A and B are shown apart, each in its own frame.
Chain A
């Protein structure tokens, strides 16, 4: 009985001791648990350092197990320390791998950028070359145009000079005189007899030359003005002067000059060019004057 009693007491003692004594605390283990939770919550650690995380978890399990089975405090402390360092290792590993990824990404990006830069430069060079080519072409074209224009100008100048010379020659042949109103061709009295409006045959040749001139320069028109000497009445002289201008006009039209290019006017005995007191003076006054228009067909009024 006594033995049993002692045994029971000792059992109670053990039970009391185990009940009273709390689990030995380790701050290192506590902080290792916190660190481990953080590492597990960090996706970078979970994806980039899975092996290290597993190793750290196992180290932490060993420390926890040591604490649960009440091993010596220094043993628990040591295991907790190792676990803590291994958890820190997971963070470092994840950071290293992340940085390495960044490096390889960055070099890929740099390669891309360099390629882009080279492409840009090449494009620019192309554009500049194309531009230069275009400019060169333009310049060549401009030069060609200028040459053509110069040649044309020269040609037209030569032509103008030639045609001017030709016209001058013809005008000389027609006895054209330069007056303030323009070129005037005077057909002398040899064309008409006294009191007659009929062209004499000699006069017709002169009219023929005029017709040819007008055909050659179609932009020019003519005003045919008739005059008489002072013999006879004013009214008969007026009619006679008109008839004489008309006679020349009809001759021109008959030779193929357009009607619209020929106009006539009679002035009677006005605008005498010589005295009417002598036969020779009167002869000069019996005349037809032909005004040549300028190139636009304009004739200055008398």
Chain B
């Protein structure tokens, strides 16, 4: 019944109204397909990758760092080809890689520091025990 109603209601609209609706729909469709260029997102990712590119990540998270750099480059290529959806996805992935690389590097360095401190404590304790004897 609803289908019938709709079918009978459409012709009731004025001709100009139908044209307008089609125009709006077309614009919306185009916007959905091409999208706006994710310029800001690319900029944020670029900054994050630059920040993550340091000696620590090179040593402790080389795979993640390389992945971040590669994906950023591919995102920029996608931007040039106006494939904004792909550029956005690649930027997202690159950002996640960069953040992970940094976290990995910091974690490794903190763990190394912890081990060094614990070793120092152990040495000290042994020294004290030796002296106490």
Residues of A in contact with B (beta carbons under 8 Å apart): 7, 74-75, 78-79, 81-82, 85-86, 88-89, 92-93, 95-97, 99-100, 102-103, 106-107, 109-110, 113-114, 116-117, 120-121
* Closest CB in chain B relative to A118 CB, distance in Å: 10
- Residues of A near B124 (CB, < 8 A) are 110, 113-114, 117
Beyond A78-B90, A114-B124, list 14 extra A-B contacts (CB 8 Å). Answer: A78-B93, A85-B100, A92-B103, A92-B106, A95-B110, A96-B106, A96-B107, A99-B111, A99-B114, A100-B114, A103-B113, A103-B114, A113-B121, A121-B131
A82 touches B103 (CB 8 A): no
B96 touches A86 (CB 8 A): yes
In the bound complex, CA of A74 to CA of B117 (Å):
46
B92 at the A interface (CB under 8 A)? yes
**Contact size range, B:** 20 to 34
- With A89-B100, A117-B131, A120-B132 already in contact, the answer to whether A95 and B111 are too (CB < 8 A) is yes
Where chain B touches its partner, the secondary structure class is: helix
Would you list the 4 A-B pairs with minimal beta carbon distance, nearest first? A99-B110, A85-B96, A106-B117, A96-B107
Q: Can you report 5 A-B residue pairs in the complex whose CB atoms are below 8 A from each other? A: A75-B89, A86-B96, A86-B100, A93-B103, A109-B121
Where chain A touches its partner, the secondary structure class is: helix
* Closest CB in chain A relative to B92 CB, distance in Å: 5
Q: Which of B85, B111, B117 contacts A110 (CB 8 A)?
A: B117
B24 at the A interface (CB under 8 A)? no
